[in-house]
């Protein structure tokens, strides 16, 4: 029986959510949907928005036909560049590269990949340099360097290693996050790691005694910039982020997948009505967008599914996309026009899916601007003196060629300055140090940036244009 092809659901999970709240949120319509692939099955790994509004897509394939132009024989990592309309611009192939788990667009417009070695590419996909550090997951750190996550497995034990590199790929330090030389302890680690605003690296995982299943416990590891670390008990997330006030929001793929907000305290724990969750992203207004897929009936078919959640965890809206066969979303990212780009797999060729090449293709869906997302409202300030202080901040020049001067009121020398790009990516954070200070956006692409000045409960955000 045919399934709904594009289904828009408005879900109330709990009597506390009002119809007024739901009316203020919607999920934007599809701008375009494209399939990329061949006569063989492809694998979709990651997607990232580029600094000019296009996209980089990472996948795997063993094919040499279809969209894989001039591809070498054999299994290979497939990296391709799309413009803002989804047209192929260029593609690159990497043989014997291991299995990279993600890609990261770097501040200079290039990207980095893991695998059997760590690879830095420029904006045209040409290799700038490679380092002999095997890794599954990679990220660029706030200081312009890099961090790698790798696993060394022997017997039933896995050593989970975080390696910090400088901006040219030389090792700074390496730390075991989980694992010892014991044969009797088993470790499981989150699929991806992230960097917090204080430049520490966060890894979600768990461990147990091999022969004592009930000994399993889960944790969040925090590796400081000097390589030292601490752990505390926490949920083992499939994917997670840190929200604007420093709390963790993540997905847990249990029998009923869940979205959880916590630190040492559980704030909320709400079900997500998916079969499996994939990626998640945080919006500027602290809403969370989660992608995944949902089985359709008992015929093992599935639709790609996305849900948007209120900052309190309540469901605002959910959408399902696909055709009459199997469609899955595995990654989602914010776009420069404040929309979304979703990555997945499909073997459908009807409904919302066109242009399938024969089997499972890489499926990319661009959603239009989300006009229901607005920045968080300013904090409630009751003191007249506080109102005067928070409003007496000047930022200039704006637009800027790179240097931004900030004049702060008395008592704000210890305010926290945070810079993000339009997709919400954290670029830098530091203490002001003085009432008159300067930030540099040198090396960043032209566009819109957000500077937040925060002191205690007061904060103000400035929109900066970089020319």
- Percentage of the chain beyond pLDDT 90 is 45
What is the per-residue pLDDT for 155?
56
**CATH code linked to domain 384-466:** 2.60.40.3080
What is the per-residue pLDDT for 368?
94
> Which one has a higher pLDDT value, 46 or 7?
46
- Percentage of the chain beyond pLDDT 70 is 83
Mean pLDDT computed over 285-305: 85
What is the per-residue pLDDT for 213?
62
Q: Classify residue 296 by burial, with Cβ atoms within 10 Å: 0-12, 13-18, 19+.
A: buried
The mean pLDDT value of the chain amounts to 83
What is the per-residue pLDDT for 178?
67
What is the per-residue pLDDT for 425?
74
Mean pLDDT computed over 438-451: 81
State the pLDDT confidence band at 186, using cuts at 50, 70 and 90.
Answer: low
**Burial readout 174-208 (b: 16 or more C-beta within 10 A, e: otherwise):** ebebbbeeeeebbbebbbbbbbbeeebbbbbbbbb
What is the per-residue pLDDT for 97?
65
Maximum CA extent, the chain: 70
The answer on pLDDT for 32 being more than 80 is yes
State the pLDDT confidence band at 297, using cuts at 50, 70 and 90.
Answer: low
Q: Quick one: which of 23, 45, 28 has its CA closest to 321? A: 28
State the pLDDT confidence band at 206, using cuts at 50, 70 and 90.
Answer: confident
Fold for 6-367, please state it.
Methylamine Dehydrogenase; Chain H (2.130.10)
Domain boundaries, the chain: 6-367, 384-466
Report how far residue 188's alpha carbon sits from residue 179's, in angstroms, rounded to the nearest whole number: 10
The answer on pLDDT for 413 being more than 80 is yes
State the pLDDT confidence band at 158, using cuts at 50, 70 and 90.
Answer: low
Predicted model pTM: 0.80
> Which one has a higher pLDDT value, 447 or 22?
447
What is the per-residue pLDDT for 212?
66
Mean pLDDT computed over 10-27: 42
Segment among 110-114, 180-184, 400-404 with least mean pLDDT: 180-184
Angle at 279 between CA 273 and CA 280, to 5 degrees: 80
What is the per-residue pLDDT for 7?
38
pLDDT in tens, 364-407: 999 998 888 765 554 444 444 444 566 788 888 877 878 888 98
Report how far residue 399's alpha carbon sits from residue 428's, in angstroms, rounded to the nearest whole number: 19
- On the question of a common fold for 6-367 and 384-466, the answer reads no
| Residue 386, H or E segment | helix 384-390
Segment among 282-286, 287-291, 413-417 with least mean pLDDT: 282-286
Mean pLDDT computed over 105-120: 90
Mean pLDDT computed over 437-463: 82
Q: Quick one: which of 191, 200, 196, 189 has its CA closest to 223? A: 200
Mean pLDDT computed over 263-291: 90
DSSP 80-123: EEE-TTS-EEEEEEEET------EEE-TTS-EEE-BSSEEEE-T
Residues 249, 243 contacting (CB under 8 angstroms): yes
Residue 164 burial (CB count, 10 A):
20
pLDDT in tens, 55-105: 999 999 999 999 999 999 999 999 999 999 999 999 999 986 667 889 998
Report how far residue 121's alpha carbon sits from residue 100's, in angstroms, rounded to the nearest whole number: 14
């Amino acid at each position: 029986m045919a399934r709904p092809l594009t289904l828009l659901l408005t879900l109330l999970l709990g009597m506390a959510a009002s119809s007024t709240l739901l009316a203020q949120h919607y999920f934007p319509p599809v701008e375009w949907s494209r399939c990329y692939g061949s006569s063989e099955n492809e694998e979709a790994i990651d997607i990232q928005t580029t600094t000019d509004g296009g996209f980089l897509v990472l996948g795997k394939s063993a094919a040499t036909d279809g969209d894989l132009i001039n591809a070498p024989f054999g299994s290979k990592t497939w990296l391709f560049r799309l413009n803002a309309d989804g047209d192929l611009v260029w593609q690159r192939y990497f043989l014997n590269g291991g299995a990279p788990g993600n890609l990261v667009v770097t501040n200079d417009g290039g990207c980095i990949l893991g695998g059997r070695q760590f690879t830095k590419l420029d904006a045209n996909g040409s290799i700038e340099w490679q380092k002999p550090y095997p890794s599954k997951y990679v990220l660029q750190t706030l200081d312009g360097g890099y961090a790698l996550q790798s696993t060394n497995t022997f017997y039933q034990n896995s050593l989970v290693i975080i390696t910090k590199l400088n901006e040219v790929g030389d090792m700074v330090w390496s730390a075991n996050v989980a694992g010892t030389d014991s044969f009797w302890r088993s470790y499981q680690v989150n699929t991806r790691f992230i960097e917090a605003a204080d430049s520490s690296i966060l890894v979600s995982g768990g461990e147990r005694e091999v022969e004592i299943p009930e000994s399993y416990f889960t944790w969040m590891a925090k590796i400081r910039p000097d390589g030292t670390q601490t752990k505390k008990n926490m949920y083992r997330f499939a994917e997670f982020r840190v929200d604007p006030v420093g709390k963790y929001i993540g997905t847990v793929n249990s029998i009923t997948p869940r979205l959880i907000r916590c630190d040492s305290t559980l704030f909320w724990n709400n079900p997500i009505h998916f079969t499996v969750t994939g990626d998640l992203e945080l919006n500027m207004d602290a809403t969370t967008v989660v992608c995944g897929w949902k089985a359709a009936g008992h015929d093992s078919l599935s639709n790609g599914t996305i849900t948007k959640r209120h900052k309190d965890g309540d469901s605002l809206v959910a959408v399902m996309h696909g055709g009459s066969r199997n469609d899955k979303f595995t990654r989602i990212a914010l776009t420069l026009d404040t929309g979304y780009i979703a990555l997945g797999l499909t073997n459908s060729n009807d409904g919302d899916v066109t242009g399938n090449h024969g089997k499972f293709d890489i499926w990319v869906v661009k959603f239009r601007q989300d006009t229901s997302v607005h920045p968080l409202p300013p904090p409630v300030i009751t003191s007249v003196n506080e109102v005067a202080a928070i409003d007496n901040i000047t930022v200039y020049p704006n637009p800027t060629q790179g240097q931004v001067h900030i004049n702060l009121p008395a008592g704000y020398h210890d305010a926290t300055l945070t810079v993000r790009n339009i997709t919400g990516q954290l670029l830098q954070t530091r203490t002001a140090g003085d009432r008159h200070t300067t930030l540099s956006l040198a090396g960043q692409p032209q566009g819109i940036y957000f500077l937040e000045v925060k002191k205690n409960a007061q904060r103000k955000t400035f929109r900066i244009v970089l020319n």
